[in-house]
Amino acid sequence: MTVVKICGVRTVEAAVTAAENGADVIGMIFAPSPRLIDISTAQEIAKAVVPAHTKRDTANMADELDKECKLSAPEYFKVCSDKLLSYGRPLLCGVFQNQDLDHILSVVRQVPLDLVQLHGTEPVQMARQIPVPVIKVFHVGADFTVDTAGLFDTGYHSVILLDTKVPAAGAQQGGHGVQFDWTVARSLSDRNVPFLMAGGLSPDNVEEAVKVARPWGVDVSSGVETDR
């Protein structure tokens, strides 16, 4: 089964629809973006899609994973992905990009969030300062290789996310609907490392993307929007 993350959700209605259609992760943008969401709306989304009786404490996962740091990358990220899905779905993810740690921690507490996605150039070590599991983006550009520094570091981020590097976008990366070479992603699956894949995925191409790259999950935003 391929995990599905719907990112850039801005309304309760959209979040409920995503959840009803089987989304495993619902992403909300807290970084500067046309899809920026405010705290109060994010809290309403959390109330709408996470049943009140559901107790899940992903903060404990970081402590549990400290024991797994000596595992190889394929083993470590497999443990992480399995643990995440054991918390129930949909999980709520907040997306940040090169923002202050204090701001991130404040949003995690207020919403509350199950996951944090670091979508900028944050060092991988920053994940250890965040009390919930972290999805760390690695931007795929012309000079990218899967041996990029930090990609396979264990004990920091729990999920690897590959997205397209768009030089013209400057600091605001992500959500531009631009694809990268899916065979680059395939090199991770060939190493048995689970990962999320984004970058121009839509209902028209996601089946082919999964066939070529064999990701653990897909991350879609602009490709499924009806109102940008």
pLDDT in tens, 44-100: 999 999 865 465 677 667 666 666 667 899 999 999 999 888 888 899 999 999 999
User: What is the rounded average pLDDT of the residues 29-39?
Assistant: 93
Q: Name beta bridge partners: 217.
A: 3, 196
Closest to 185 (Cα-Cα) out of 223, 134, 151: 151
Task: Report d(CA 164, CA 175) in Å as an integer.
Answer: 9
In whole angstroms, what is the distance from residue 41 CA to residue 28 CA?
10
How far apart CA 18 and CA 1 sit, in angstroms, is 17
CB 202 within 8 A of CB 6: no
Cα distances (Å, whole numbers) of residue 54 to 47, 51, 60, 100, 166 = 11, 5, 15, 30, 39
Placement of tokens 């028209």 in the chain: 204
Quote the longest CA-to-CA distance of the chain.
47
Beta bridge partners of 137: 161
The token duo for 2 is: 């391929």
pLDDT, residue 29, reads 95
From 21, 139, 22, select the one nearest 85 (Cα to Cα). 22
Q: Give the per-residue pLDDT at 147.
A: 84
Question: Which of 15-19, 24-28, 138-142, 158-162 is the least confident region?
Answer: 138-142
Residue 31 has pLDDT above 90, yes or no: yes
Q: What is the pLDDT of residues 110-143, one digit of tens each?
A: 999 999 999 998 999 999 999 999 999 998 987 8
From the list 205, 160, 153, the residue with the least C-alpha distance to 180 is 205
pTM of the model: 0.89
The secondary structure element, H or E, covering residue 222 is none
Which structure tokens are listed for 97? 């990009």
Phi/psi at 36 (nearest 5 deg)? Answer: -55, 135
Residue 113, both tokens: 């969030």
Q: What pLDDT is attached to residue 58?
A: 73
User: Is the pLDDT at 175 greater than 80, yes or no?
Assistant: no
